[in-house]
Chains A and B, each alone.
Chain A
Amino acid sequence: MSTLTLAARDSGTMLRRNLLHMRRYPSMTLLLVGVPVIILLLFVYVFGGTLGAGLGPTGDRAEYANYVTPGILLITVASAAQGTAISVAMDMTEGIIARFRTMAIFRPSVLTGHVLGSLIQTMLSLAAVTGVALLVGFRPTANPVEWLAAIGVLAMITFALTWLSVALGLVTKSVETASNLPMPLVLLPFLGSGFVPTDSMPTAVRLFADYQPFTPVMETLRGLLLGTGIGSNAILAVAWCVAITVLCFLWAKALYNRDPAR
């Protein structure tokens, strides 16, 4: 069997294992979808009137629902990444991982199984959150091609953050730490253009907000879904996603190959 067939076959087996886990214990998935939905409802119905007025002379709650949805989608991705870190860290405490290491299988398949499983889980969560956003007034103007592109952008950032959270799940010794480490990811959309335009922020915060990875991703999504300007954000978004994916993949692989010394 060639390395590639072996890789695909074993990754597929491990993916089935992870999907079974998710199907049997859906509470984690529900929790991960719950967080962004609550934030969405909070920001549209509690803060939305005031924040919408700040968007411009015609701004109102309905316009704010449009503005905030890309940020909420990234919160969904970040929240799911937290779940991935937890499940990887939990998995590593299980004896079965030692068994996998002594079998003639594609070695990183344990990790690729987690990544593919999380990718599927996150895309489903994103669909659910988008559904709720549509219910509360999100009115995208995208054509089918733009929709596909938006889904692609979301898949890319999900892929990148999933590898990051796999590495975070491996680097920690305890499940508790694993659940805390990805927390800042949930805050990043706030410290970017997710909830209010960055030019309303003080200089120091604005500089951070303009140059952090989530902002170009959110701006690209906004452009694709709502027809605002994209500019160089698309290139930046792709570059960030590729860079994070490659670095975190190498990091996770190195962590997994460490001697599992007791």
Chain B
Amino acid sequence: MASPSRPAIVATGLRKSYGDKVVLDGIDLQIADGTIFALLGPNGAGKTTTVQILSTLIAADGGEARIGGHDLTREPDAVRELIGVTGQFSAVDNLLTGRENLSLMADLRHLGRAAGRRRVVELLEQFDLAEAAGKPVATYSGGMRRRLDLAMTLVGEPRVIFLDEPTTGLDPRSRRAMWQIIRDLVAGGVTILLTTQYLEEADQLADRVAFLDHGRLIAEGSPHELKRLIPGGHVVLQFADHAGLDSAAGLFAPATRDDAALTLQIPSDGGVGSLRSLLDQLDRASISVAGLTVHGPDLDDVFLTLTGRPDNERAMAR
């Protein structure tokens, strides 16, 4: 668990509007040193705006925030010394090579010539970019570009890292690789604020998760705590025909049936005891089942419960 030391990020009452459109409507955050905090929400919830404010890119209309004890508006350069940002939109120089991009960062971070060169070589190795180091970034694949982007953020060894949707648009393998990189970073003691629209990602990585919806935080806790908020677990039974589905639906009253897929979804904690009794009931009624799957509660269920509407964006993204 996080130590009770000074939090890496504290924000109170952050507000931001563009014209009439309220983007952030009073956000409070407290992120412990050395932890991963995931800010989760659909497009337009205000995730990117939160990162832009906390990383000194734009000014908030109201509220205060401190990073590593430094006030955002009064000591922006002290904050900038501490942070690294990898945005949703790639922040690499497409006209330069991978190595030149990293050297540029080393120079701007004022590492000495020798130290800078060492750091560049180290990062090229660590991020599997050594082979492509001399090629222009314009020729890189999406995954390589994202790795270079993060490597550039890490040149100055920031203590606090903002990752705005770091895996959006990556293929599953690149996504897993990115997750491992993020875990390694936290093992090294840095603090990470991560935004994502993938509930699974927050579940996998974060120590704490906050749900952002329409510029407000609607829930916050560890993934475990949030999952406990709602009994989202269920068992799905697959049937061979309508007759089986009909009789089973009569047996388990609060179930949700899907006639097209011939499935029945029954609320359950997924434990061995309840599964055994479920199978016993089916046996006694002589209903034959083609398949059975157990689903633990996941953060998708949390989102649905909290917002009272399905996560449309995710449904569309699929």
Closest-by-CB residue of B relative to A22 is B95
Closest to A10 in B: B108
Tell me the chain B residues, 81-97 only, with Cβ under 8 Å from chain A: 81, 83, 85, 87, 89-96
Scan B57-95; emit 1 where CB is below 8 A from any A CB, else 0. Answer: 111000000000000000001101101010101111111
**Given the complex, which residues of B lie within 8 Å of A94, measured CB to CB?**
91, 93-94
Bound-state CA distance A20–B95 (Å) is 8
**Residues of chain B lying within 8 A (CB to CB) of residue A25:** 95
Contact of B91 among A21, A96, A105, A260 (CB under 8 A): A96
Give the number of residues in B that approach A within 8 Å (Cβ atoms).
Answer: 30
Q: Smallest distance from the beta carbon of A14 to chain B beta carbons, Å?
A: 8
Q: B57 is contacted by which of A9, A20, A102 (Cβ under 8 Å)?
A: A102
Query: Which chain B residue lies CB-closest to A95?
Result: B91
Q: How far is the CB of A114 from chain B (nearest CB, A)?
A: 13
B55 at the interface (CB under 8 A from A): yes
Q: Which of A1-35 contact B (CB under 8 A)?
A: 1, 9-10, 13, 16-17, 20-21, 24-25
A94 and B93 alpha carbons, distance in the complex (Å)? 7
State whether the Cβ of A145 lies closer than 8 Å to any Cβ in chain B.
no
Return chain A residues, CB-CB under 8 Å to B55.
102
From B89, B92, B110, give the contact of A9 (CB < 8 A). B110
Residues of B within 8 A of A204 (CB): none
B108 and A103 within 8 A (CB): yes
CB-based contact A17/B93 at 8 Å: yes
Q: Are B57 and A13 in contact (CB under 8 A)?
A: no
Q: Which chain B residue shows the least CB distance to A18?
A: B95
- Asked if B57 contacts A101 (CB within 8 A), the reply is yes
The answer to the question of B130 belonging to the interface, with a C-beta cut-off of 8 Å to chain A, is: no
- Tally of A interface residues using CB under 8 Å: 24
CB-CB < 8 A to A135: which residues of B? none
Bound-state Cα–Cα, A24 to B80, Å: 31
Among residues of A, the one whose C-beta sits closest to the C-beta of B78 is A104
With A1-B110, A10-B108 already in contact, the answer to whether A102 and B96 are too (CB < 8 A) is no
**Any A CB within 8 A of the CB of B255:** no
How many residue pairs at the A-B interface have CB separations less than 8 Å? 63
**Alpha-carbon separation in the docked complex, A24 to B89 (Å):** 24
User: A98 near B: Cβ within 8 Å?
Assistant: yes
A96 with B108: in contact, given A102-B83, A102-B85, A259-B58 (CB under 8 Å)?
no
Kindly report which residue of chain B lies nearest to residue A99, judged by CB atoms: B91
Which B residues lie within 8 Å of A103 (CB)? 80, 108-109
Contacting residues of chain B (106-137) with chain A, CB-CB under 8 angstroms: 107-110, 136
Q: Given contacts A101-B56, A101-B57, A259-B58, is CB(A96)–CB(B92) below 8 Å?
A: yes
Residues on the B chain within 8 Å of A24, using CB: 95-96, 136
Does B100 lie at the interface of the complex (its beta carbon under 8 Å from any beta carbon of A)?
yes
Q: A99-B85, A99-B152, A103-B80 are in contact. Are A260 and B58 (CB under 8 A)?
A: yes
- A210 to B77 alpha-carbon distance, docked (Å): 48
Task: Tell me the minimal C-beta distance from A121 to chain B in angstroms.
Answer: 15
Query: In whole angstroms, how far apart are the Cα atoms of A217 and B308 in the complex?
Result: 70
Contact A261 B87 (CB under 8 A): no
Cβ-closest chain A residue relative to B85 = A102
Whether the pair A102, B56 counts as a contact (CB closer than 8 A) is yes
**CB of B104 within 8 Å of the partner chain:** yes
A260–B55 Cα distance when bound, in Å, is: 13
Contact (Cβ within 8 A) B108 A105: yes
Contacts of B91 in A (CB 8 A): 94-96, 98-99
Question: Given A13-B108, A95-B90, are A104 and B81 also a contact pair (CB < 8 Å)?
Answer: yes
By the criterion CB–CB under 8 Å, are B109 and A20 in contact?
no
Q: Which of the residues A9, A10, A95 comes within 8 Å of B87, measured between beta carbons?
A: A95
- Please name all residues of chain A whose beta carbon is closer than 8 Å to the beta carbon of B93 when the two chains form the complex: 17, 94, 96
Which residues of chain A from 203 to 262 have a CB within 8 Å of any chain B CB?
259-261
A9 to B108, CA, bound (A): 8
How far apart are the CA atoms of A10 and B106 in the complex, in Å? 11
| Closest CB in chain B relative to A245 CB, distance in Å | 26
Nearest Cβ distance between residue B60 and chain A, in whole angstroms? 11
Decide if B95 touches A21 in the complex (CB within 8 Å): yes
CB distance from B309 to the nearest CB of A (A): 26
A96 to B95, CA, bound (A): 11
Contact yes or no, A95 B58, CB < 8 A? no
Chain B residues near A10: list those with CB within 8 A: 108
User: B100 contacts which chain A residues (CB < 8 A)?
Assistant: 20
Which residues of A sit under 8 angstroms from B153, Cβ to Cβ? 99
A260 to B85, CA, bound (A): 16
Q: How far is the CA of A132 from the CA of B40 in the complex (A)?
A: 63
A21: B residues at CB distance < 8 A: 95-96
Report B181 CB to chain A, min CB distance, Å. Answer: 18
- Chain B residues closer than 8 Å to A16, beta-carbon distance: 107
Residues on A lying within 8 angstroms of B by beta carbon are: 1, 9-10, 13, 16-17, 20-21, 24-25, 94-96, 98-105, 259-261
Apart from A16-B107, A96-B93, A259-B58, what are 7 other A-B pairs with CB-CB below 8 Å?
A20-B96, A24-B136, A98-B87, A103-B80, A104-B77, A105-B108, A261-B58
Can you list 5 residue pairs at the A/B interface with Cβ under 8 Å?
Answer: A20-B95, A21-B96, A99-B91, A99-B153, A260-B58
